[in-house]
């Protein structure tokens, strides 16, 4: 669909929220489309890193498209269906097996922030403004989204953001851990992609294993301790492990294949 685009550049794929004239507000159809788009990338072993961004530089996403709420969230049943669709999209992004980076220009609010929080890392331009506006709309953030927010910024900052509905600037977001890096607006794109290219050179099995371990800590993962231990053991039997050790001893850059 035109409102959601995928751009590929070697090992890096970019998922673009493409409604710049609406500050990239996310429609229900976009939420529905995200899981399928991610599955297509997941099944492509050449993709090593996913970047998520909004079109243009005015907004990552200003939130869910509120103009749809009277139709799509008209009563409790409709609201539950809508929320389940949003949660499915965010879960698909959170569980994407490669590193994910939210590249944030301008506004990143409400559902837009939920999407960014489902990414592993968040890079922001100095112009970024981030917040959760549920308290301004009379709605309640979902359990998953609240847990994700709290695991990233801690309970005190989560209460502040959820109770007040205020937007914070990039420096405040960095101080509370809401974003990982702040760049000048004209440096965000080149710096974030340079970092993504660096990630793409690392061992995919190590990154995937780390992601599963990190999800286990706040209770988002579904694997048992024994299953996680097995992932550690399998890495020692992988071709990538042998390549990594050999490359270190031979003083050269390793070539990892994810196997």
Read off the CATH number of the domain in which 170 is found: 3.90.226.10
Same domain, 123 and 165: yes
Positive or negative: CA dihedral 159, 160, 163, 166: negative
Label residue 1 by pLDDT band (50, 70, 90).
low
Same domain, 114 and 150: yes
Q: What is the pLDDT of residue 68?
A: 82
Same domain, 108 and 48: yes
Tell me, yes or no, whether 255 lies in a domain. no
The answer, yes or no, to whether residue 88 has pLDDT greater than 70, is yes
Q: What is the pTM of this model?
A: 0.93
Label residue 224 by pLDDT band (50, 70, 90).
confident
Residue 125 in contact with residue 57, Cβ under 8 Å?
yes
Q: Are strands 4-9 and 12-17 parallel, antiparallel or unpaired?
A: antiparallel
The answer, yes or no, to whether residue 254 has pLDDT greater than 90, is no
Torsion of CA 127, 131, 137, 138, to 10 degrees: -170
Distance CA 141, CA 147 (A): 10
Same domain, 54 and 91: yes
Same domain, 236 and 164: no
Same domain, 228 and 142: no
Q: Within the chain, where are the H helices?
A: 28-42, 69-72, 76-94, 111-117, 134-137, 143-153, 155-164, 170-175, 185-200, 204-216, 225-236, 239-249
Same domain, 192 and 211: no
Structural domain total, the chain = 2
Tell me, yes or no, whether 121 lies in a domain. yes
Domain residues for 40?
4-199
Q: What is the pLDDT of residue 176?
A: 97
Label residue 235 by pLDDT band (50, 70, 90).
confident
Average pLDDT over residues 199-211: 91
Average pLDDT of the chain to the nearest whole number? 91
Residue 130 in contact with residue 178, Cβ under 8 Å?
yes
């Amino acid at each position: 669909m035109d409102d959601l685009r995928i751009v590929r550049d070697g090992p890096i794929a970019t998922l673009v929220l493409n409604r710049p004239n609406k500050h990239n507000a996310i429609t229900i159809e976009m939420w529905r489309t995200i899981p399928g788009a991610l599955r297509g990338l997941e099944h492509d072993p050449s993709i090593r890193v996913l970047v998520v961004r909004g079109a243009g530089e005015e907004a990552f996403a200003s939130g869910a498209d509120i103009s749809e709420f009277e139709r799509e969230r008209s009563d409790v049943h409709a609201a539950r269906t809508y929320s389940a669709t949003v949660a499915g999209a965010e879960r698909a992004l959170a569980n994407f097996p490669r590193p994910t980076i939210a590249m944030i220009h301008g506004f990143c609010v409400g559902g837009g922030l939920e999407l960014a929080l489902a990414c592993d890392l968040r890079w922001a331009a100095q112009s970024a403004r981030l917040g959760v506006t549920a308290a301004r709309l009379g709605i309640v953030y979902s359990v998953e989204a609240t847990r994700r927010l709290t695991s990233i910024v801690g309970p005190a900052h989560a209460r502040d953001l959820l109770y007040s509905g205020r937007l914070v600037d990039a420096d405040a977001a960095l101080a509370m851990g809401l974003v990982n890096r702040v760049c000048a607006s004209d440096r965000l794109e080149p710096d974030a992609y340079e970092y993504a290219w660096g990630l793409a050179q690392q061992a995919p099995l190590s990154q995937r294993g780390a992601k599963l371990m990190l999800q286990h800590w706040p209770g988002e993962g579904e694997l048992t301790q024994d299953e996680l231990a097995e992932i550690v053991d399998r890495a020692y039997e992988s071709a990538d492990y042998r390549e990594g050790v050999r490359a270190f001893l031979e003083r050269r850059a390793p070539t990892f294949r994810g196997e």
